[in-house]
Chain A
């Protein structure tokens, strides 16, 4: 939980860029993220011009997507949450997951490594019975200073499907964070998505109205 809080705080504002790599093409976009507590977030694209203004709002368990092209916000049904988000290797669930890992999974520490005065833990997380989760299991590697280094997703046959790795762990906005995070499709080495923090501020004052559908619709 502290590990998740580490990247969110009570509230945060961050500017990120995302590169999606595919065998045929690669594209980079930029977006800003506002978060409140553990549950709520607003993501709004700023570049490229074609995508600028597209936004995703998450409040508690609900998510909406907004497109300025049609000036409409659409609520995402639960069944769509495992679909890829904005053409990347991240799913809506990956964005929304927040503390679900605690609620729906059993955890077991399978490895502890001491290095450079820091302890690195490897945790195997298995979904509880009846948990609304598509994965067979997940493994997480994180450091005692609450930085998540690696997260691997396994399908129901326990094959590793995709993996998220953290790079360039450094102090950002006063906290230790991975500047770069890459989600890779383990079945196709040419499919990956990398998210880079360009700026992040924690515990900033954000108007509660930011996390409303009204704000989603007004750019």
Chain B
């Protein structure tokens, strides 16, 4: 061993010596590599699961009816009054059906109205929908608890809490009474075709009827309040927005889900910040434990360094060799960590991680609770842990450098 070290000072590449040094103490090296690999796995798993959880949040928010992009009257979003309607709806839907960049489109009308099953009555949000199109853009039709979704006109699909409050069941008669755009009375009598269970606020206050029935009841033929569109990729809506912009009429505006549901995009922002803190702490713990391993290993070799100095090796050379050793160790560690992540996280990206209990009562309370999460590996997620560990390793070596500079040879030779 010493022969080689001496030769190293005469010009043998440090990298060769460093590599041999690493495997002088096999167990220690394997432990350090394992620490780096598992540390990387933990950080990457946590980060990929977190960033993967936003997709389902957006999906759930949008699939419960909002869609990704909407066309609405320019005043409707701020002041949802029935008179702020949009016209020429059916023809535009047919036109949009041909757009490649949109997955599905539908139209909706909405009004706050009194709903009643004598003698019970309460206020509710009445939605006029196109049932066959609604099936393609919303998950609400699949949340049937009793009966069926809307199959035609003069029917209602109502929330379970609302049904209970009005003491209504499937087949029961529901009276809708509201105000038309011109101030007259809008009214309809519909038969309950189905009752849904979804989030609490929807269950308590939502009534869906067909758009035809809505238009007749509220005297707004051919009109609606929103054209709702889904795109394939909610984080890239440019092409979809262009397609919708081509049918935009005056007095109308285009809004995407970020503007329509600021609570979701703000929720994500808050989540990103709070998770960033958690992840920072996690990375710090991982890096510190690995630094500890490095520093301990190097301090253990004090005697060896003493010998090297005694036989005339320069301190700077010893430092350089140690640095190369650590860099090599880091490289081996992150390669193993990368393989581990590949084995664990990548399959999960396809199978998803099921979240138990989100199918039952919990889900009604937390509106945007996904049923399973698919981890998402971005460059940021992949690179953070190796880079952070690398920086930690270099800092550890610096500690050692200070120690080496102050080392007294005789003392070093005497240490165990």
Contact = CB atoms under 8 A, between A and B. Distances in A.
Contacts of B5: none
A87 interface: yes
Interface in B259-296: none
Interface residues of B, number: 20
A87 B179 CA distance: 6
Interface residues of A toward B: which range?
20 to 34
A72 B177 CA distance: 10
A69 B187 contact: yes
Contacts of A70: 175, 177, 187-189
Contact of A75 (B118, B179, B180): B118
A67 B185 CA distance: 7
Nearest to A55: B185
B180 A87 contact: yes
Interface string A66-99: 0101101111110110001011100000000000
Contacts, number: 63
B182 A86 contact: no
Contacts of B119: 75
B182 A25 contact: yes
A50 B184 CA distance: 8
A29 to B, nearest CB: 8
Contact of B183 (A27, A73, A74, A80): A27
A77 B177 contact: no
Interface in A13-58: 20, 24-25, 27, 29, 50-51, 54
Interface secondary structure of B, over-half rule:
strand
A181 interface: no
A87 B123 contact: no
A74 B175 contact: yes
Nearest to A71: B189
Contact of A77 (B122, B183, B187, B188): B122
Contacts of B122: 77, 79
Given A74-B121, A77-B123, A87-B179, A51 B189 contact: no
B183 A87 contact: yes
Contacts of A76: 114, 121
A77 B118 CA distance: 11
B103 interface: no
B189 A72 contact: yes
A11 interface: no
B116 A74 contact: yes
B59 interface: no
Given A74-B175, A76-B114, A86-B183, 17 more contacts: A24-B83, A25-B182, A54-B185, A67-B185, A69-B185, A70-B177, A70-B187, A72-B177, A72-B189, A74-B114, A74-B177, A75-B116, A75-B118, A75-B121, A77-B123, A86-B179, A87-B183
Interface of A: 20, 24-25, 27, 29, 50-51, 54, 65, 67, 69-70, 72-77, 79-80, 84, 86-88
26 contacts: A20-B183, A27-B183, A29-B183, A51-B184, A54-B185, A65-B185, A67-B185, A70-B175, A70-B187, A70-B188, A70-B189, A72-B118, A72-B177, A72-B187, A73-B118, A74-B116, A74-B175, A75-B119, A76-B114, A77-B123, A79-B122, A80-B123, A86-B179, A86-B185, A87-B179, A87-B182
Closest 10 CB pairs of A and B: A87-B183, A67-B187, A74-B116, A70-B187, A70-B189, A72-B175, A74-B177, A51-B184, A67-B185, A54-B185
